[in-house]
């Protein structure tokens, strides 16, 4: 039985949810700085990208415009990921990923002027629902018991979502001319270049060499990078053969998996993640995740 794009989109979502959990642990718990994480991740991405470039080269006759759009999408995707990494340094993963996963809403809005599409009453209601979910998930509880807003991180994650939406639209166009394997190595090579550009410093090398428990951190990073390969390749595979709007809608369910992983780890390995316990905060996260996923599903599945 052939694997369809829906299966690949779900696989990508499940795997990248695990990647978000590992990223959060490495950035907030293991790595001495965000730059140290980016340097290590950039080296890993470079290795995988070169391997795919060697075995899956571009076909002859590919025009300039698809290549330009593929590079633009890779840069936008990388900047979006960098913003998420930064917010993971200062916020819980169970709050960051739901906000970062609102990008399919912007795909719908961008499609109006660029593709001539229109949104009906239900779709606009869904946008309001998703926006409400984003506001709810940005709420956190202070040690004194009062609730506070995410603040600056909220606007950073909105910017991240806008960039990811543009990246997906550009990627879909490029994938009509190049294969999903080509799109993968273009993306990760651009990602590796940007990561290393912002982190390739003698000071950062010294931080990595002087890390405590370096071997276990490297092993976890290798696992993380391997999962990234599976998640991104599956995403581009789904995007190549299926509608980008529906692929994005499925991808928007990632907060549910992140929430499940975080909840399990909070019970089994409580030191693995920053996790704000309590029934109230858990209920807030569940409601926010359901609103975000439900609102996006209305847009793309109604």
Report residue 278's pLDDT band, with 50, 70 and 90 as the boundaries.
Answer: low
d(CA 75, CA 189): 10
Phi, psi of 31 (to 5 degrees): -80, 140
Report residue 301's pLDDT band, with 50, 70 and 90 as the boundaries.
Answer: low
Look over the chain and give the mean of its residue pLDDT values, rounded to a whole number: 82
d(CA 228, CA 222): 10
pLDDT at 71: 96
pLDDT at 94: 66
pLDDT at 1: 41
Task: Of 23-27, 60-64, 188-192, 295-299, give the lowest mean pLDDT range.
Answer: 295-299
DSSP codes of every residue in the chain: -PPPHHHHHHHHHHHHHHHHHHHHHIIIII-SSHHHHHHHHHHHHHHHHHHHHHHSPPPTT--HHHHHHHHHHHHHHHHHHHHHHHHHHHS-HHHHHHHHTTHHHHHHHHHHHHH-----HHHHHHHHHHHHHHHHHTEEE-TTS-EEE-THHHHHHHHHHHHHHHHHHHHHHHTTTS-HHHHHHHHHHHHHHHHHHHH--HHHHHHHHT-TTHHHHHHHHHHHHHHHHHHHHHHHHHHHHS-HHHHHHHHTTHHHHHHHHHHHHHHH-TTSS----SHHHHHHHHHHHHHHHHHHHHHHH-
| In the chain, % of residues over pLDDT 70 | 83
pLDDT for 59-106, tens place per residue?
888 888 989 999 999 999 999 999 988 887 777 766 777 777 778 778
pLDDT at 83: 92
pLDDT for 240-277, tens place per residue?
988 777 788 778 778 778 878 887 887 787 666 665 55
pLDDT at 191: 96
pTM of the full structure: 0.83
| The two structure tokens encoding residue 130 | 């998703």
pLDDT for 12-50, tens place per residue?
989 999 998 899 888 888 888 989 999 999 999 999 999
Q: What residues does each domain of the chain span?
A: 5-301
pLDDT for 124-182, tens place per residue?
777 677 767 766 766 665 555 555 555 677 788 889 999 999 999 899 889 989 999 99
pLDDT for 243-252, tens place per residue?
777 788 778 7
Report residue 292's pLDDT band, with 50, 70 and 90 as the boundaries.
Answer: confident
pLDDT at 210: 85
d(CA 133, CA 285): 9
pLDDT at 73: 95
Report residue 204's pLDDT band, with 50, 70 and 90 as the boundaries.
Answer: very high
pLDDT at 190: 96
């Amino acid at each position: 039985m052939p694997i369809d794009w829906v299966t690949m989109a779900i696989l990508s979502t499940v795997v990248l949810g695990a990647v978000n959990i590992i990223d959060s642990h490495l950035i907030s718990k293991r790595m001495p700085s965000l730059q140290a994480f980016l340097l290590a991740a950039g080296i890993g991405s470079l290795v995988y990208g070169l391997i795919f470039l060697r075995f899956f080269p571009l076909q002859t006759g590919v025009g300039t415009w698809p290549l330009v759009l593929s590079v633009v999408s890779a840069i936008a995707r990388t900047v979006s990921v960098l913003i998420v990494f930064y917010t993971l340094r200062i916020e819980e993963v169970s709050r960051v990923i739901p906000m970062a996963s609102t990008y399919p809403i912007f795909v719908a809005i961008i499609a109006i002027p660029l593709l001539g599409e229109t949104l009906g009453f239900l779709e606009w209601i869904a946008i309001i629902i998703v926006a409400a979910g984003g506001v709810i998930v940005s709420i956190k509880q202070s040690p004194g018991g009062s609730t506070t807003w995410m603040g600056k991180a909220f606007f950073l994650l909105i910017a991240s979502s806008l960039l990811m939406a543009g990246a997906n639209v550009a990627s879909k166009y490029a994938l009509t001319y190049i294969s999903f394997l080509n799109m993968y190595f273009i993306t990760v090579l651009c990602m590796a270049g940007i990561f290393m550009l912002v982190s390739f410093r003698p000071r950062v090398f010294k931080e990595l060499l002087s890390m405590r428990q370096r071997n276990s951190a490297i092993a976890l990073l290798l696992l993380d990078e391997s999962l990234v390969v599976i998640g991104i390749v599956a995403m581009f595979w789904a995007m190549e053969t299926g509608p980008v709007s529906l692929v994005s809608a499925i991808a928007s369910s990632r907060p549910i998996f992140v929430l499940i992983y975080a909840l399990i780890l909070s019970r089994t390995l409580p030191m693995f993640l920053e996790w704000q316990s309590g029934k109230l905060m858990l209920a807030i996260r569940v409601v926010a995740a359901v609103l975000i996923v439900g609102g996006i599903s209305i847009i793309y599945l109604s």
